[in-house]
Amino acid sequence: MWQPQGCRGTVPRPRLTTYRPVCTLHTSCMLEGSGMRAQHGSKTRLLDAALRVIRTKGFEAATVDEVCESAGLTKGSFFHHFESKEDLALAAARHFAEMAESVFSKAPYRTLPDPLKRLLGYVEFRRAILKRELPEFTCLLGTMVQETYETHPSIRKACERHISGHAASLVADIAEAKRRYAPRAKWSPESLALFTQAAIQGAFVLAKAKHGPEVADECLVHLRRYLELLFDQTGKE
């Protein structure tokens, strides 16, 4: 494991080659890659269906009937597992976050030895996920929180917790990269981790507005450029 070194100039800078993901990911690929398909239960089928329906239609427009139809199950099965649509949303948020945690923790960029390469690899991995249909790459958490932040406090809190938790998974790499390449910078690793999520969620909103992934990809390219500027890595490839 890399250990913190001295000040800027005492550590050789890495050559930041363009990260090439091994595959593009969508919901089914994420679930299979995370091993969550092994559950094969009616509850998991309902949660998977909730991800599809809510990311397509939004939380308010999605109905229990549509979730059941997508899952191929009855409303009796639904109410055996969930007390309400809000209860389903809370479970779906947790399901989505666990799925994402498993996929990102096993992503190819995680094996890169340099912390800054891992951070930039994370952005490129995010870009790879864009190569699907809108409901397959946009974020369930961001979709729900935009609709429910005033009307359903429990859903808002769950979405905030999971989005912040994903941001926190970047903090260690950002902190290592900061110590190595920008030790005098005034910003905190935690604030930069949250900023990456703000940029990504905003990219998803624009993708929905323009009904296509191209604008989101451009936003993530700009995010990478910004990160390179923060760590003084522009023009070093």
The least confident of 23-27, 44-48, 181-185, 230-234 is 23-27
In the block, tokens 């909730």 appear at 50
Phi/psi of residue 18, nearest 5 degrees: -65, 130
Two structure tokens written together for 235: 């023009």
The CA distance from 93 to 88, in Å, is 9
Q: Which CATH fold would you assign to the domain 27-230? A: Tetracycline Repressor; domain 2 (1.10.357)
By CB atoms closer than 10 A (0-12, 13-18, 19+), residue 214 is exposed
Give the tens place of pLDDT for each residue, 81-139: 999 999 999 999 999 999 999 999 999 999 999 999 999 999 999 999 999 899 999 99
Query: Which pLDDT band holds residue 234 (cuts at 50, 70, 90)?
Result: low
In this prediction the pTM is 0.81
- Contacts by residues 100-105 (CB-CB < 8 Å, ≥ 24 positions apart): 100/30, 100/166, 101/165, 101/166, 101/169, 102/30, 102/33, 102/34, 102/35, 102/36, 103/25, 103/30, 103/33, 103/34, 104/166, 104/169, 105/169
21, pLDDT greater than 90:
no
Two structure tokens written together for 71: 């899952």
Helix (H, G, I), strand (E, B) or coil at 72: coil
Average pLDDT (187-200) is: 98
17, pLDDT greater than 60:
no
Amino acid letter, 97: A
The per-residue pLDDT for 157 is 98
Average pLDDT taken over every residue of the chain:
86
